[in-house]
């Protein structure tokens, strides 16, 4: 397109050109992202046999069976507890870790590497290692406790929900910290140093600087971390699957592990697709709500 042509275009034309240019890309993304969801939604409304062959509509039977299933509410509540605890714990731990790693001290590079290491290991391997460590008869955890004389009889850490679920949450936090710290570190290094200097000169102490400068400036990064971690942890499958498979008696099952059992162990593909749609809607609603709240906050500050 020649320069003359652009110049002679109307204001409206000029405004719509960029949209026209990205339109193919947008349509393409909608198709790539949207089609599987559309397909899934269609499947959740139909009768599906265990090998994925669909028959006609079945009056929301998949959904009514899902909502009336005795495990649904329990799994939903555990999923929320799991997500809130892991995401909350991760953020609470990651902020101070990022602040410390942002300071200049001897061995900082090494400390950064150590914090990042769990990220480099696949979640499945993490699960397997922890499962070994927590084995009541031959695990490293009990062996250590024996050595310090803190244990008389073996404890099977993963044998009851009372110990297994908090441990799963702990490991979940451990593996989510690296990503979160990285985002915060990126945020911290982008903060302008002059306003901190100014605050120091004005006599603001460390806590005041953290409370009134660091945290507000980190807000966008905090938002990013919360939304991404929420989605990621909510759908996180490998840790729980490897360590307990939702045992004992479904007491550590969250929605996504139950979803796997429904789909591939029980062949209830209709119910499983309905559950996927429900999970998708929950996450969509939460993300939109959160994005709106965050945007309103940002505008008001």
Partner 1 sequence: MVKTGTRRVLSLLAGAAVLIGATSASDAATVRVVLGYYSAATQGLFEEMAKDFNSKHPGDEVKIEVIQWDNLQQRLTTDIAGGTAPDISMIGTRWLLDYVKNDIAEPMDTYVTPEFKAGFIDAFLAPSTLDGKLYGLPIAASARAMYYNKDLLAKAGVNEPPTNWDGVVDTAKKIKALGGDSYGFALQGKEIETDAYWYYSLWTHGGEIIKDGKSGVASPEAVAALTLYKSMIDDGLTEPDPTGLNRQDIERLFKQGRVGMILTGPWLRGQIKTDAPTLNYAIAPIPEGTTKATYGVTDTLMVFKSSPNKELAMKFLMETVFTPEWRIKFSKAEGFLPVMKEEAKAFADDPQLTAFTDMLAYAHFAPAVANWEQMSDAIIAALQKTYTGQAKPEDALKEAAGTIDGLAQ
Contact set with partner 1 (CB under 8 A): 49-53, 135-138, 153-160, 244-245, 247-250, 261, 264-268
Smallest gap from Cβ 52 to partner 1, in A, equals 3
Pairing of strands 54-57, 46-48: antiparallel
Smallest gap from Cβ 172 to partner 1, in A, equals 20
CA nearest 262: which of 242, 252, 276?
276
CA nearest 271: which of 27, 5, 47?
47
Helix axes 72-102, 161-190, angle to 10 degrees: 40
Nearer to partner 1 by C-beta: 118 or 267? 267
> How many residues make up the chain in this entry?
301
Smallest gap from Cβ 243 to partner 1, in A, equals 11
Nearer to partner 1 by C-beta: 80 or 159? 159
Rg over CA atoms, the chain: 25
Smallest gap from Cβ 154 to partner 1, in A, equals 6
Let me know: does 174 contact 166? Beta carbons within 8 Å.
no
Element (H, E) at 55: strand 54-57
In the Cβ-directed half-sphere of 121, how many Cα atoms lie within 13 Å?
19
Smallest gap from Cβ 137 to partner 1, in A, equals 6
Nearer to partner 1 by C-beta: 235 or 245? 245
Nearer to partner 1 by C-beta: 155 or 227? 155
Nearer to partner 1 by C-beta: 120 or 153? 153
Nearer to partner 1 by C-beta: 20 or 249? 249
Smallest gap from Cβ 138 to partner 1, in A, equals 7
Element (H, E) at 5: helix 3-8
């Amino acid at each position: 397109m020649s320069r003359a042509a652009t110049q002679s275009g109307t204001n409206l034309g000029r405004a719509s050109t960029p949209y026209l240019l990205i339109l193919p890309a947008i349509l393409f993304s909608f198709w790539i992202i949207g089609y599987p969801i559309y397909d899934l939604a269609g499947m959740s409304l139909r009768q599906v046999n265990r090998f994925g062959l669909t028959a006609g509509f079945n009056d929301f039977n998949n959904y009514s069976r899902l909502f009336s299933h005795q495990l649904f509410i329990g799994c939903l509540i555990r999923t929320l507890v799991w997500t809130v605890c892991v995401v909350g714990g991760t953020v609470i731990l990651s902020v101070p870790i990022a602040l410390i790693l942002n300071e200049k001290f001897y061995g900082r590079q090494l400390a950064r590497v150590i914090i990042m290491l769990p990220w480099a290991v696949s979640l499945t391997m993490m699960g397997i290692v922890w499962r070994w460590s927590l084995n009541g008869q031959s695990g490293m955890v009990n062996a250590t406790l024996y050595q310090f004389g803190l244990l008389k009889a073996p404890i099977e850490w993963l044998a009851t929900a009372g110990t297994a679920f908090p441990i799963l949450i702990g490991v979940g936090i451990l593996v989510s910290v690296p990503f979160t710290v990285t985002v915060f570190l990126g945020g911290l290094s982008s903060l302008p140093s002059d306003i901190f200097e100014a605050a120091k000169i004005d006599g603001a102490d460390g806590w005041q600087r953290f409370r009134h400068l660091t945290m507000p400036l980190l807000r966008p990064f905090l938002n990013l971390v919360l939304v991404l971690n929420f989605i990621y942890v909510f759908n996180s499958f490998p840790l729980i699957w490897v360590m307990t498979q939702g045992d004992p008696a479904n007491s550590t099952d969250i929605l996504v592990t139950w979803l796997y059992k429904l789909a591939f162990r029980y062949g209830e593909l209709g119910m499983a697709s309905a559950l996927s749609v429900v999970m998708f809607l929950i996450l969509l609603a939460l993300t939109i709500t959160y994005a709106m709240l965050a945007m309103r906050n940002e505008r008001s500050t």
